[in-house]
């Protein structure tokens, strides 16, 4: 049987961002090392002392997420664009759930930035090919 220290190590060193925020304020209540690194912070302490979840995305996005969370209690497989303090953008696959008697949001983030960039590049390439074909078809039709 695992002791509490084993769970702390598991949480702290998990290869996925694990966060808990206050539902009302967006303040970080818990975070692991991977979350701090993903969000561009030097440490968990830096993240929790100097940032709120609302620093990383627009208020309108939070409002929509909170509406869904209040209705369903969970939001799964949500793609979210995060804006980091150093100016970088990170795309994440996010899973949220309300916990702590409705007082907090637990969040599990996986970085999908490379996947989103590749998807966007593929879309742009397909659009360019389609436009060239439309131009050639129009030229042949005239």
Q: Do 94 and 39 share a structural domain?
A: yes
Of 86 and 119, more confident? 86
Per-residue pLDDT at 103 exceeds 70: yes
Q: What is the reported pTM? A: 0.77
Q: Which of 59-73, 80-94, 112-126 has the lowest mean pLDDT?
A: 112-126
Residue 43, domain CATH: 3.30.450.20
Q: Do 80 and 45 share a structural domain?
A: yes
Of 9 and 18, more confident? 18
Domains: count for the chain: 2
* Contacting residues for 7 by C-beta, under 8 A, at least 6 apart: none
> Tell me, what's the pLDDT at 71?
93
Q: Do 119 and 106 share a structural domain?
A: no
Q: Do 67 and 107 share a structural domain?
A: yes
For 133, the domain range is 114-142
Is-contact 68 75, C-beta < 8 A?
yes
Q: Do 119 and 107 share a structural domain?
A: no
52-62 CB burial, b ≥16 within 10 A, e <16: ebeebbeeeeb
Q: Do 129 and 102 share a structural domain?
A: no
């Amino acid at each position: 049987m695992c002791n509490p220290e084993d769970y702390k190590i598991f949480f702290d060193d998990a290869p996925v961002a694990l966060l808990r925020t206050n539902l009302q304020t967006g303040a970080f209540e818990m975070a692991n090392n991977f979350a701090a690194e993903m969000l561009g912070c030097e440490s968990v302490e830096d993240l929790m002392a100097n940032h709120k979840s609302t620093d990383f995305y627009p208020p309108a996005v939070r409002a929509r997420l909170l509406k869904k969370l209040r209705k369903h209690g969970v939001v799964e497989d949500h793609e979210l664009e995060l804006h980091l303090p150093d100016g970088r953008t990170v795309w994440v696959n996010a899973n949220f759930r309300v916990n702590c008697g409705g007082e907090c949001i637990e969040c599990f983030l996986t970085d999908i930035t490379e996947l989103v960039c590749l998807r966007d590049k593929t879309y742009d390439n397909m659009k360019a090919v389609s436009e060239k074909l439309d131009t050639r078809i129009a030229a042949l039709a005239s």
